[in-house]
Structure 1
Amino acid sequence: MFLSRIVLAAVFVLSACTHLPKSVLKESPHVTDHAAPLPPNKRTPAAEELDWWAANERQVKSAVCRMRLPVTTAEIQRYYKSLPVENGSEPGTHEVLGIVLTNERPHLVLALSRLLTLGRESATPEKVIKDFQKEFKIGPGCDKALCAAQKIFGADVGPQMLYLMDKFDVNTSPYSFTSASLFTAGEIADVIRTFELVKPDQLPFGFNKQLIKFKRGYTRASYGDDGGKVLANASIELFDSWSEQSSIMRQYTLYHEIAHNHSDNQFSDYDRSATWLQLSNWKEAKAGGFEVEKKKALQGHPFVSRYGQSNPFEDFAESVTAYRFNPDLLKKKSAEKYNLIKYLVHDGLEYTSSKNCNDTGVSKKFQNEIDRDDGLTNAEKDRVLKACRQPFYQTLLGNMPVSFFDSCVNYEATQLWAKTNGERYPDLLPQALFDPKLRVSTLKFAKLRAELASALQPEVTDWILNSVQTFAYQLRSDMNNSEYCEVWAQLNRKVYPDIDRDNKWRYKGIFVSHDYSPKAGAARGICLELATGFVPTSKSTLSTVKSWIKETGHISTQGPLKERGISRETLLKYIIDRTNVSVR
């Protein structure tokens, strides 16, 4: 959904960690963050004895409200076999880095493509392969994404990796990131089992999220070269010591890293906010790092684990983890932390009993009101339109998915709605409703989105035609469609109209596109689809996938070109179809 890559920064030395000697392979400094060390062999007594982690294996294993996800190859195959054929799926072939896929689901074509390409521009995988068909001897009978994944990554691991990429946008591939190695089937099964503990709409990840296992023998060198062992960090990179843990504790550790991502990705470093620091009386030291007033720590003891005493970041992650696996402990230690996490991270949902599993979050109450009447004034609607004009143009001319525009509308409208309704709802925590970094919102403004799309559809139609008209002198009747549409590609020399240069969406979002001109490939693609007589899709999934793969050079254009006949009527019909909201 979002096309930038997230990179989290800052590494913290944990004074509570007893480092275990191990040789460190010197690397160029990777971006590092919160590191989860192995628990020390000896424990230091406190005023009230705390365990190293906030929950034990029994509590993790018996956690309530665990979903059931497919884990084995057979289960994953049954899962995809049971899915209905999508609207917009078309027969044909897709070539992905040498691999020819036939009549495949578009989202699986895209998932396989991401597993085989760089996850971020700066990534330096150990091996870069240009033709996977040749490298792995993939025959013509293996023309499905699941089969190709098995050939490349292994019979069991391949389907697991493809499922994670497709279902959760989580990339575990050694061909996408630096210093990554393949998981075993058992390890990646524990990754999937961890996601059983998180509601899909509460995953704090963006586009193409990195989740890798570091090469064997690698550790993070933290502030000094003592080679301290760490289990994982919030990037997310898992180390040898993670692999050596039991299945249950691997799930605990990964959930802990997901908790870091809630703060880092979803709530703009909430674990550094004044509100969070005050809950345990954290003070930033002059030399860097954090100190906590020992007197308060010993008397009030607002921590759920000894690891949580390390710094405010681990305090946050351990508190979020305790909320899921040991809620009574968190409630006992700090009712304030419990209530904050309840609304900030979990939308008001609780995990104290299996009776809670079918509860709906507080945002559902807000959503029902918005569906009835969002209450936005015309001036506020105009503000949202100005902020989201560029994202709308980008969904057509920048190879962005339609969800890019959706996210902008929902994000901008949510901020306005929360400001207006804050006093009416005492349990409304604005930061829990929208993500300032990823530019996404819990609340959906479908009616507003449809209204703004209806206003922008004819606008972008006329802008495209008027812009192409400036190159009309280059058009000749004897051109074939390919030559004709190459003139359309020159739209990349134009700048989108009326860009709101002051809106927060444009300036502060990690995953916001800062392109203010069309992509040549996208403009060319619109022309070719119109010239060949496009087939309405009723949704944009297939079109988005094809555009993305064509633009990145992974698929060649298929089929002969027909006679062209492009008018304002056909272009507007095309744009309405590709940005349709009624069936979304």
Structure 2
Amino acid sequence: MKILILVFFINICTLALSEDSINCLPLPGINNLGLKIFSNFVIQNEHIKDYPNVDVYEASCKINLSSTEIEKRIEVRAQKDSWRKKDKELHGIKFENEYSSLLALFDKLTTKEGDITRKYIFESQCKKVLCAVKEIFGENLGPKILYILQEYGLNGSFYSFNNADNWEHNELDILLQGLEDLPRGLLPLNDNKSFVRHKRGSMCKKGVTANSELRFFDCWQYSYRGIEKMFTLTHEIGHYIRSELGLEDSPEWLKLSGWETELYYNQNRELRSRWSNNKDACFLSTYGQKNPNEDFAEMFVAYRYTPELLKKTCPEKYRFMKDLIFNKIEFTKDKKFCEKQPKLKYENGLWRFFRRKTTF
């Protein structure tokens, strides 16, 4: 997801005529006025019509799990996933009588992606995984990182991916709240997807706040309030789901807005292709009109947080999300999703039923 940034001569960004020419300075150098202008511009231009914050806040289940509840959930899930306990040494730590599923999770959290030969070695007297993650990531952060990987298949460990930092409490808390707003079983789509805080102090490249790799940048931390941060997470989860399902070539989705590619010559007289859509196609934001991918991500957010608006304005897209993505689970006020969430179960993995043809 990319956001265009305006020109301000206050050490924020320089902007040429094309999106590819945007360069942003490190955020720590931005003064308070610059940050405020930058923040307001990002929020206004990513979602031009912008879904009302009050609606998003009211639609959120606002689940704030306590440390005790998180640890309890980890234990219950480990009992369900593991058929036995065992002793095993991992990365220098000698675990005793531990669930095999938790050992596998710990190994993922402490192994560099794409390099199984690069093993971190820790000095610890811990005998249990929960104890070890508290020592490595922090007393409060450790269990949350373990829980997010266990429940959602999202790996938030800075040890596992390049150019990553450990999370701050407020950052991970708002993301966990956003994840808890999704139906149980929608995720995971795989068991070790990146979910990391990009290295702090990095260049704010092209105004990117987060991307479909589920990597969150300085721009995300400094330019958004809590609600917008959840909004961004859900947008990127939408991209992630679209990518995993191969929706780029889905005729069902392209048909809803009349998406087609067209050829054009750029300023250098080079032949390029771009997306076009029907003039009467339904969108809730200007950003969604960019291409089918952003269209999908915006509608994914709208279906979860402003379902009444989406259902009234774009009923066909609402039905697509309902039938093919959310397995008929709805979030309109009359459905009382947050009250029923503990009892709702997402019965089928997306990959099992998406290819089923649906007539619109």
Alignment partner, residue 261 of structure 2: 284
Following the alignment from structure 1 to structure 2, what is the Cα–Cα distance between the partners of residues 113 and 53? 44
The partner residue of 2:122 within 114, 121, 132 is: 132
Alignment partner, residue 302 of structure 2: 322
Change (3 A) 1:309 1:100: same
1:258 aligns to 2:237 (yes or no) = yes
Following the alignment from structure 2 to structure 1, what is the Cα–Cα distance between the partners of residues 322 and 44? 30
User: Does structure 1 conserve the Cα–Cα contact (< 8 Å) formed by 2:154 and 2:188?
Assistant: no
User: Does structure 2 conserve the Cα–Cα contact (< 8 Å) formed by 1:53 and 1:307?
Assistant: no
- Give 3-state SS (helix, strand or coil) of 1:290's partner: strand
**How high is the TM-score relative to the length of structure 2?**
0.76
Q: CA deviation at 1:301?
A: 5.6
Alignment partner, residue 107 of structure 1: 101
Alignment partner, residue 346 of structure 1: 326
1:171 aligns to 2:155 (yes or no) = yes
User: Does structure 2 conserve the Cα–Cα contact (< 8 Å) formed by 1:171 and 1:209?
Assistant: yes
Following the alignment from structure 1 to structure 2, what is the Cα–Cα distance between the partners of residues 355 and 327? 11
1:426-441 equivalences in 2 (<5 Å): 430=356
CA deviation string 1:114-166 (max 9, x = no partner): 10002334x99xxx653212xxxx22xx2111111111111111111111122
- Give 3-state SS (helix, strand or coil) of 2:95's partner: strand
Alignment partner, residue 143 of structure 1: 127
Change (3 A) 1:325 1:98: same
Q: Report sequence identity in percent.
A: 28
Following the alignment from structure 2 to structure 1, what is the Cα–Cα distance between the partners of residues 184 and 328? 16
User: Does structure 1 conserve the Cα–Cα contact (< 8 Å) formed by 2:156 and 2:195?
Assistant: yes
1:368-447 equivalences in 2 (<5 Å): 430=356
User: Does structure 2 conserve the Cα–Cα contact (< 8 Å) formed by 1:118 and 1:176?
Assistant: yes
Following the alignment from structure 2 to structure 1, what is the Cα–Cα distance between the partners of residues 293 and 130? 39
User: Does structure 2 conserve the Cα–Cα contact (< 8 Å) formed by 1:343 and 1:429?
Assistant: no
CA deviation string 1:359-384 (max 9, x = no partner): 999996xx9xxxxxxxxxxxxxxxxx
Q: CA deviation at 1:312?
A: 1.9
- Give 3-state SS (helix, strand or coil) of 2:88's partner: strand
Structure 2, unpaired ranges of 5+: 14-23, 28-37, 264-271
Following the alignment from structure 2 to structure 1, what is the Cα–Cα distance between the partners of residues 146 and 2? 35
The partner residue of 2:317 within 337, 340, 353 is: 337
Change (3 A) 1:23 1:335: same
CA deviation string 1:197-251 (max 9, x = no partner): 111321262121111111013357xxxxxx4211100111110111122222211
**How high is the TM-score relative to the length of structure 1?**
0.49
Alignment partner, residue 23 of structure 1: 25
Equivalent position amino acid for 1:343 in 2: D
Q: CA deviation at 1:191?
A: 1.9
Q: CA deviation at 1:73?
A: 2.9
Alignment partner, residue 210 of structure 1: 194
Equivalent position amino acid for 1:337 in 2: K
The partner residue of 2:292 within 309, 312, 316 is: 312
User: Does structure 2 conserve the Cα–Cα contact (< 8 Å) formed by 1:54 and 1:321?
Assistant: no
Larger radius of gyration: 1
Following the alignment from structure 1 to structure 2, what is the Cα–Cα distance between the partners of residues 348 and 327? 13
- Give 3-state SS (helix, strand or coil) of 2:135's partner: helix
Q: CA deviation at 1:274?
A: 3.4
- Give 3-state SS (helix, strand or coil) of 2:206's partner: coil
- Give 3-state SS (helix, strand or coil) of 1:190's partner: helix
Change (3 A) 1:53 1:112: farther
Alignment partner, residue 274 of structure 1: 251
User: Does structure 1 conserve the Cα–Cα contact (< 8 Å) formed by 2:183 and 2:345?
Assistant: no
Following the alignment from structure 1 to structure 2, what is the Cα–Cα distance between the partners of residues 61 and 312? 27
1:74 aligns to 2:68 (yes or no) = yes
Alignment partner, residue 448 of structure 1: none
More strand by share: 2
Alignment partner, residue 213 of structure 2: 235
Equivalent position amino acid for 2:84 in 1: S
Q: Following superposition, which runs of at least 4 residues in structure 1 exceed 6 angstroms of deviation?
A: 41-44, 359-364
Alignment partner, residue 88 of structure 1: 83
Structure 1, unpaired ranges of 5+: 1-11, 26-36, 45-49, 221-226, 368-406, 416-427, 433-584
Following the alignment from structure 1 to structure 2, what is the Cα–Cα distance between the partners of residues 80 and 198? 18
Q: CA deviation at 1:110?
A: 1.2
